[in-house]
Amino acid sequence: MSHYVAKVLQPGETVAFEGTIHWLVYLPAILFAVIALAGVVMIVGSAEDSRLFGEAIFAFGAIFGVIAFLRAWFARFTTEIAVTDKRVIFKRGFIRRQTVEMNMSKVESVDVDQSILGRIFDYGDILVRGTGAGLEPLKMIAHPLAFRNAVIAH
């Protein structure tokens, strides 16, 4: 169980579903790694005097790949989503934390928006609508239909 969710559970409250951001959030980092790999291929396959372009491509891909990977990892690591028998809990951030909790009695509907890739890789955007207000859309959530089913089941 995630750290924040474990801290805010009330006595007798049980977790029905725990979610996270989908692993495809790492896609930009993967693309930059491919660019860096292309730079390595250019370095290995070129003459000594024309290696500079390959080294530049490698440096570009490696630097931006590491930055993209760390951003994606940190976003995924600091985002917690849970459905309990009493409420929906969403937490994002580390130092600047944003938390939203909605009692199950206030939930009116759960909208799931999935693209074609979202259907293939099982991720999507979720919008929880409640009486009076709703949660902001939760983007790129893994297993969105399981999340919706956990909320609707209560």
Question: Among candidates 145, 99, 106, 109, which has minimal Cα distance to 125?
Answer: 145
Domain presence at residue 49: yes
The parent domain of residue 55 ranges over 26-74
Which pLDDT does position 70 carry in this prediction? 97
Domain presence at residue 13: no
What pTM value is reported for the model? Answer: 0.81
Spans of the chain below 50 pLDDT: none
Number of domains in the chain: 2
Map tokens 């985002």 to a residue. Answer: 79
Which pLDDT does position 94 carry in this prediction? 86
Question: Among candidates 84, 81, 134, 67, which has minimal Cα distance to 107?
Answer: 134
pLDDT in tens, 123-142: 999 998 888 776 678 899 99
